[in-house]
A and B are shown apart, each in its own frame.
Chain A
């Protein structure tokens, strides 16, 4: 408990009067990949947005390294070391690849190391170096997702949040995406991953939480959940039929 990187306790979030999360608690330990899985509308994006401060919870609390995030603006939370790649990527499409990466290192703390961070990002994503001067909106879907992740790593975050990084990508690019996530993990990045691609997500995850209509339905190690017959029936089976 003492060295939890992220701790979310009894989170309750609503859009106006319509509740979206009820008493959700999760945690992320440093250096791990944690997956959050669940069907459409289960509240995964809502949970991530509340962690990064885009939504204010009705009840419950979020701690980063033991520091409460309550009442903090999203830009302040970003400055504390959470990099959130939102659903839909949130790229600045009219700006160049390089400008997007520069903005990833906007915070004064990390601005100083911009050159090194850029070198690191280019090593990991050589494609982006070739396209540095191109508008982000003109990249392919896969390249855009790579750029979104690369941009998030520019701030050398203590927690990288990825909301459905595989969304809309072809199967081969999805494979590249997951191997990239594992590479980042090996480099020591802590990752909180939301995925519809449940099988893949559970395979890379050290630990996972299953959300069901706004409530926590199950949790365990990735391996345990993959083997769980209920999970297989409820989620993975459906995916195979599709």
Chain B
């Protein structure tokens, strides 16, 4: 294998596309990070939720003529409500158990349920949302790239930014952070575990909704595409450091870059293998993530 150094504009194009695509893993990982934070649960159904949202966006577009990006105004609040209900209906009881395996199994069950419901309702074939601007491009840093991908990136950035703002500057957000650090101590402050868990789920699933908009406008999708998304989000989560929300987005972007480079320099067939290899390497050698601060170890 010879490594040709490509010209700078190709390199830039590669990096841009990688970063834009990776931001979607990132926003999925932010949701995982929040839910893991308070519940210590890897919410494996996150990817299925994203695809469900994508189908919802598609239905709004073809059924009611609502522009996919405009449908954010519907999908995000619906996601908040669905997240709240999913917690109260499915996880509330299991959350009271010390053992998280039950919660994990519920998440897996939910994932399969959503996948199969989607197949029943929309069929197993690939679906897509094609708008007048789907094929259009814009120029960023002198490089041409897809308009919808760039919008997806903006959505990821805005979503993560809002979550960080919520966690840093509201008292309820601080309660969520406190609960993520030490649930028992948080309850001694009068913070209800069920409330912070439900908030984490609500925000996590509304982020899945936002990611669903990004996915629907960018890629063709099918009911079973979600699982890979969950796995990629998990890799992003590990890269960013479990419990570090902004790091999760950064982790997604890094993963997107890695995938883009591997695809170009090695081959498309290697992208997933190398992505999971990186995942294992990070967990083995830097389990606290790439951006952890030293006092965490104390």
B188, closest chain A residue (CB): A84
Docked Cα-Cα span, A104 to B186, in Å, equals 9
A90 touches B295 (CB 8 A): no
Q: Is A143 an interface residue (CB 8 A)?
A: no
B187 touches A103 (CB 8 A): no
Contacts of B190 in A (CB 8 A): 75, 78-79, 106-107, 155
Docked Cα-Cα span, A135 to B185, in Å, equals 17
Docked Cα-Cα span, A205 to B177, in Å, equals 36
Min CB distance, A163 to chain B, in Å? Answer: 11
Number of residue pairs spanning A and B whose beta carbons lie under 8 angstroms apart: 76
Q: Given A102-B171, A103-B174, decide whether A93 and B181 contact each other with a Cβ distance below 8 A.
A: yes
Q: Which residue of the partner chain, among A107, A137, A151, contacts B298 with CB atoms under 8 Å?
A: A137
A92 touches B185 (CB 8 A): yes
B295 touches A138 (CB 8 A): yes
B295 touches A104 (CB 8 A): no
Q: Mark A133-170 against chain B: 1 for CB-CB distance below 8 A, else 0.
A: 00101100000000000010001000000000000000
Q: Is A194 an interface residue (CB 8 A)?
A: no
Q: Is A99 an interface residue (CB 8 A)?
A: yes
Q: Is B178 an interface residue (CB 8 A)?
A: yes
Q: Which residue of the partner chain, among A83, A111, A138, contacts B188 with CB atoms under 8 Å?
A: A83
Instruction: Report how many residues on chain B are interfacial, defined by Cβ distance under 8 Å.
Output: 20
Interface size class of A (residues with CB under 8 A): 20 to 34
List A residues 45-85 near B (Cβ within 8 Å): 52, 54, 73-75, 78-79, 83-84
B187 touches A135 (CB 8 A): no
Q: Is A86 an interface residue (CB 8 A)?
A: yes
B175 touches A103 (CB 8 A): yes
A49, closest chain B residue (CB): B184
Min CB distance, A111 to chain B, in Å? Answer: 7
Min CB distance, B211 to chain A, in Å? Answer: 26
Q: Is B182 an interface residue (CB 8 A)?
A: yes
Q: Is A95 an interface residue (CB 8 A)?
A: yes
Docked Cα-Cα span, A79 to B190, in Å, equals 6
Interface residues of A (CB under 8 A from B): 52, 54, 73-75, 78-79, 83-84, 86, 90-95, 99, 102-104, 106-107, 111, 135, 137-138, 151, 155
* 10 extra A-B contacts, CB within 8 A, seeds A92-B182, A94-B181, A102-B171: A74-B184, A75-B192, A78-B188, A84-B188, A92-B181, A93-B298, A99-B178, A103-B191, A106-B175, A107-B190
Interface residues of B (CB under 8 A from A): 171, 174-175, 177-178, 181-182, 184-193, 295-296, 298
